[in-house]
Structure 1
Amino acid sequence: MLKYKMLAAVALVAVMAAQGPAAAADGADPVIAKVAGAEIHQSELDLALTGLDPQLAQLPEEQKRAAALSGLIDVKLLAKDASDEGLQNDEDFKKRLAYLTDRELHNAFFKKHVVDAVTDEEVKARYEKEISAIKPAEEARARHILVKTEEEAKAIIKDLDAGKDFATLAKEKSTDPNKGDGGDLGYFTKDRMVPEFSEAAFKLEKGKYTPVPVKTQFGFHVILLEDKRLQPPPPLEQVEQQVRQLVMRDTYIDLLAAAKKDAGVDITDPALKKAYDEANKAEAETGAETAN
């Protein structure tokens, strides 16, 4: 469940990381400072806060805001000097500005048509689809008593045959750290335990214990099966964010596919075109598997 296509997942994470907090709503964007005659607004400080060094991001809130404002003032000062020198007319600067403009437009479109467009109903429907496709694994709930020797284990089985309580014996005899819980292991699937233990536990009938000691790399076990069930799916609340990202990923891929179909993509470098086509083919194949 919830498999991610590599390229799309990387793109999705990158775009989400670039979102940052929204600008102040309802026109509430006060001036918080002035430098060289230019106003600095709260929305600019909010953006500067998203670009703080991770170490500075750990500071208390007011120190963090001060650090962001300090950096913002530095940017404003040197940006003015750069503008006075006419660096905005430099061809390399224009190319970089064009790229950054395209990237921010991409992010704005992504936020509007993916992040904000995905509904709770879509997330719930996708969750139910994924859950219905899962074949639940069998789980067992068991207690065990672990000892060092086979003789000790056989003696414990004799005590159980005589009617002694399993949990009490576990507390008295077991060397396992969970002895305080009466040897209770909770629910587990077969792959959670070593093979010898799982094979013995899952063969038991509910309420029965192993008639002979079970040897594993840890020692000798006496196992009591308390219950068997099919593993319940995780509740929606537990996996909601993963499912939402899955829906967002697929929505994003559909938007890109439609845009490529309408606009066309022409790559002139043969080697680069081959690598691009192979990557997109793998994406499409994985997408078809996920959809089924």
Structure 2
Amino acid sequence: MITTGFGFDTTALDVVEGLDLSGRRAVVTGGASGIGVETVRALATAGAEVTIAARDLDAAQRVAASLSRSTGNSTISVARLDLASPASVKAFARTWDGPLHLLVNNAGVMATPLTRTPEGWELQFATNHLGHFALTLGLFNSLRAEGARVVNVSSSAHLMSDVVFDDIHYERRSYDRWQAYGQSKTANILFGVEAGVRWGGEGITMNALMPGSIATNLQRHLSSEELQERIRLSGAADVRRVKSVEQGAATTLVVATSPLLDGVSGRYFEDCVEAAPVVGGSHMRGVAPYAQDSGAAARLWEVSEETLWGRWAA
């Protein structure tokens, strides 16, 4: 188990204090809102060249300008990326030039009503997993140029569902938006498990994390009553408490920058340390055994390639 000396109250800026990331290039998906902004802020503060990948270019430009002023880092740029669109993901990957040292797969949607992409894919799985899977594979050559880290922002909601391979896109079973979100977050973890197997010799590592219970735009599909109920069920109200966005980005920065994770793949972190296996009564803490299953991870990779291949090759 990897421990770091950081914990619940740590902020992203605490993690990068004294760290020099000059000459390192990073992409943060969803970097224009929520913990994505704080992730970009911390990386830029440490001297990294950061690209904010976002659907809303105007919002991203405003964030980039603000962070450039506050950090003194003029190498914050923006690029359009819609993770639910294979064409958008393909365009982003094709236009990336040169090495990429850090890819933070941070963007996502949560608890949406049943929505399908034009391809017929369930939106949460398409955005949270398939989009990031396609993006990461599309950037493979840039990532392996000098060795790199890929960080997948998952969630304790992975404990709500494993990946239901027999009906990932809810074509035959009744739709449950929380289970759908949960299986997409399990996929984020499994992606790293299999990446460690396939890419271990390429110098690329991939790990996942739970940022914490944080009030951000991710909850836009929830009423205030539903949000409070989710906090209660997660145990955050009386066990973990709700984090600030600065605290919520801290575990991302640990996974992205800590030397303790050199050469490490397939792990899952929460509150800035590696999570233990889940136990009963843990208030949505820990990692589920199915999210560490090597067989499921290999199957997910194959299914993801099969799902995307026609669109990616078009």
Superposition TM-score tier, normalisation by shorter sequence: under 0.3
Which structure would you say has the larger Rg? 1
Q: Which has the higher helix share?
A: 1
Taking structure 2 as the reference length, the TM-score comes to: 0.20
